[in-house]
Amino acid sequence: MSEGYEQHQQPAVPVLEEQRLDEFLGAVPERGQWRYRPRRVGVVWRSKAFRAGAVIVVLALCGLLILSMVREQTGTEGFLVGLGLAVLPVPLLMAAFRWLDRVEPGPWRNLLFAFAWGACAAALVAIIANTFATRWIATATADPASADTLGATVIAPVVEESAKAAAVLLIFLFRRREFSGVVDGIVVGGFTATGFAFTENILYLGNAFGEDQELGTTGLASVTAGTFFVRVVMSPFAHPLFTVLTGIGFGVAAVAGRHHRVRRILLPVLGLLLAMGMHALWNGSSAFGPYGFYAVYGVFMVPAFGLVTWLAIWTRQRELRTLATELPVYAAAGWLTPAEPLSLASMRARGMARDMARHWHGTSDRARGKAAAQAVAEYEGFATSLAVLRRRARRDTPGPDFAEREQELLHHLWQRREVAGPALTYAAHATGRFRALRGTAPMGPAAVPSPRRFPQPAPYPQQPAPYPQQQLPAPHRHYGGYNPYLHDGHQQDSRPPA
């Protein structure tokens, strides 16, 4: 083998032109040094266990309070009936929002926090504030009917949307790395509203069941059946739609440059105001006559739902195009194979790569196949985060932690490359997204070009390498990018490898 390849240990990190650095970023540091450390916020809050425990305790207390209040209003039997019916749409809504988040999946802890906040904290604030405000208006005006109408069309939208928006704001502020765009805002807002609607449906369905018990009505003519049809069958997306508007505002603010401070403040406020307005229109639909509900549902709710769904899918496709645009520079530098950016930009190729990794490694051991598929999924997520990070830095001034975060993501990719690289390259060829050059060998786990082995243990040391280790040539240069073998510390050698 030539001396140039013997000296080379890892690809160089491609540098943004906007950074204007005098030299390229160094190698990935040792395992004890590479982990990204965000800005410190306080001595007590440095403990992850303390932070998680505090959040769990607060949400649990809110949950106990709201459940006791709902059970007091509906009775034990009504509470159980409402709980059983209200839980039905929850898995479907959560699965739908999680499907939108497949390109760069957010951590489940954020989504579970959002759901718990909506079901416990936001619902508790809403039931207390709405009850207090409605009673105060009724006492002040001596008109209970007007107080109920005003409470439903003015007080409830403001209180409920503000309480739900608090969850989106908290994740936006304290989990900024994991809140990178419009899709994240939609998903977080959707999970929050799903939790809120779950608790609210328990209350409404439980009260409806209690009314049926008093009137003796059963079957399709019962109040419970009508309430279930309106709230669960026809409009399970109502609350998610409102809060998603707030999430979109935060998502657009997340991709805005740091110098657009006014925009980053006004956009979430605008999204919240739109959510309040849509909520008020929905609650006040009965004021438009006996067919007001159906008119608002058909003229406003369904088109708005379709528009938001289209925006979410379009934004997800835009994120996929970002991978095809931003990752080739890393392929040219040797961190990825040339086919990987194309494969990562296709949901079909991504799924095929996970399936192939599971098949290649799970022939004799299903656990190994599952671990390999998980490694490919993690690789896809880290690659997406890297592309989003670079796009944001290229469009705006790179942040002070850009290099550190970039190296952390590259380290994660490097640790999983032996499992993910062959699968993604195979998927790119199998789906026709990458045409092999004339004369190249058929793509498979034993014939995939990859960078040289990084001198670190693989993340799955109990597993053998997925294919025989070979002395392979330098990464392809189809993209005309930076040549990793010409930077400082490495010698150029034009001879073919021995």
Banded model confidence at residue 9, pLDDT cuts 50, 70, 90 = low
Burial of 363 (0-12, 13-18, 19+ CB in 10 A): exposed
Above 90 in pLDDT, residue 65? yes
List the structure tokens of 273: 């105001």
| Structure-model confidence comparison of residues 327 and 16, the more confident one | 327
Highest mean pLDDT among 27-31, 168-172, 458-462: 168-172
Query: Which uninterrupted H or E stretch holds 338?
Result: none
154 dihedral zone (left: phi>0; alpha: psi -120 to 50; beta): alpha
pLDDT at 22: 36
494: pLDDT strictly greater than 80: no
Where exactly are the structural domains of the chain? 62-321, 327-435
Structure tokens at 253: 């603010």
Residue 162 token pair: 């503000």
Please tell me the predicted confidence (pLDDT) of residue 69.
Answer: 93
Task: Please give the pLDDT value at position 53.
Answer: 86
The distance of Cα 356 from the centroid of its chain, to the nearest Å, equals 25
Spatial distance between the Cα atoms of 276 and 268, rounded to a whole number of angstroms? 12
Query: Mean pLDDT across the stretch 453-468?
Result: 38
Please name which of 107, 126, 106 lies closest in space to residue 117, comparing C-alpha atoms: 126
Nearest C-alpha neighbor of 111 from the set 123, 127, 99: 99
What is the C-alpha end-to-end distance of the chain, expressed in Å?
4
Are the CB atoms for 98 and 187 separated by under 8 Å? yes
Cα 387 to its chain centre, rounded Å, is 15
Q: What is the pLDDT of residue 95?
A: 95
What is the C-alpha to C-alpha distance for residues 353 and 213, in angstroms, rounded to an integer?
56
CA atoms in the 13 A half-sphere facing the CB of 339: 25
Q: Are 388 and 319 in contact (CB under 8 A)?
A: yes
Token pair for 113: 């926090």
Q: How far apart are CA 47 and CA 53, in angstroms?
A: 10
Q: pLDDT tens across 89-145, in order? A: 999 999 999 998 888 888 899 999 999 999 999 999 999 999 898 888 888 887 777
pLDDT band at 48 (very low <50, low <70, confident <90, very high): confident
pLDDT at position 141 is 80
Summarize the confidence of residues 458-469 as an average pLDDT. 36
Q: Region 433-441: what's the mean pLDDT?
A: 47
Contact indicator for 34, 92 with CB cutoff of 8 Å: no
pLDDT, mean over the chain = 78
Residue type, 1: M
Backbone angles phi and psi of 489, in degrees to 5: 95, -5
What letter would DSSP give residue 401?
T
CB 487 within 8 A of CB 12: yes
Nearest to 201 by CA among 233, 157, 153, 174: 233
Closest CA to 459 of 371, 363, 381, 383: 371
Closest CA relative to residue 10, chosen from 460, 348, 413, 479: 413
User: What is the helix, strand, coil percentage profile of the chain, to 5?
Assistant: 70, 0, 30
Compute the distance between CA of residue 397 and CA of residue 318 in angstroms, rounded to an integer.
Answer: 22
pLDDT score of 197: 95
pLDDT confidence of 205, banded at 50, 70, 90?
very high
Residue 62 pLDDT exceeds 90: yes
Residue whose entry in the numeric block shows the structure tokens 């399970």: 236
Q: Checking phi first, is residue 289 left (phi over 0); if not, alpha (psi -120 to 50) or beta?
A: left
Separation of alpha carbons 494 and 482, rounded Å: 16
pLDDT of amino acid 196: 96
Average of per-residue pLDDT across 304-327: 90
Mean pLDDT within 83-92: 95
Lowest average pLDDT, out of 194-203, 280-289, 406-415, goes to 280-289
**CB-CB neighbours of 248 under 10 Å:** 25
Higher-scoring residue by pLDDT: 472, 168: 168
What is the token pair recorded at 241? 């739609």
Residue 1: the pLDDT is 45
C-alpha–C-alpha distance, residues 311 and 306, integer Å:
9
Q: Which residue has the higher pLDDT, 193 or 443?
A: 193
- Helices marked H in 256-346 — which ranges? 261-283, 292-296, 302-326, 328-333, 340-344
What pLDDT does 334 receive?
84
Which amino acid, residue 19? Q
Q: What is the pLDDT of residue 146?
A: 79
Distance CA 28, CA 49 (A): 29
Residue 462 has pLDDT above 70, yes or no: no
Length of the chain: 498
The residue among 97 and 441 whose pLDDT is bigger is: 97
Q: If you average pLDDT over each of 199-213, 356-370, 437-451, 478-492, which comes out highest?
A: 199-213
pLDDT in tens, 266-315: 999 999 999 999 999 999 887 777 788 888 999 999 999 999 999 999 98
Of 46-50, 73-77, 180-184, 192-196, which gets the smallest average pLDDT? 46-50
Average the pLDDT over 392-410 and give the result. Answer: 80
Q: What percent of the chain has pLDDT over 70?
A: 77
Q: What is the 3-state secondary structure (H, E, C) of 407-473?
A: HHHHHHHHHHHHHHHHHHHHHHHHCCCCCCCCCCCCCCCCCCCCCCCCCCCCCCCCCCCCCCCCCCC
476, 331 Cβ separation under 8 angstroms = yes
Question: Are residues 14 and 409 in contact, defined by beta-carbon separation less than 8 angstroms?
Answer: no
Burial class (CB in 10 A: 0-12, 13-18, 19+), 487: middle
pLDDT value of position 12: 58
Confidence of residue 163 (pLDDT cuts 50, 70, 90): very high
Bridge partners of residue 220, in order along the sequence: none
pLDDT score, position 486: 33
For the record, the structure tokens of 24 come out as: 């390229």
pTM: 0.76
Residue with the larger pLDDT of the pair 436 and 297: 297
Least confident of 15-29, 108-122, 393-407: 15-29
The stretch 430-434 carries a mean pLDDT of 76
Comparison of pLDDT for 148 and 81, the residue scoring more: 81
Confidence of residue 168 (pLDDT cuts 50, 70, 90): very high
Residue 173: pLDDT over 50: yes
Q: Is the pLDDT of residue 50 over 50?
A: yes
Provide the percentage of residues in the chain whose pLDDT is more than 90. 35
Q: What distance lies between CA 415 and its chain's CA centroid? A: 23
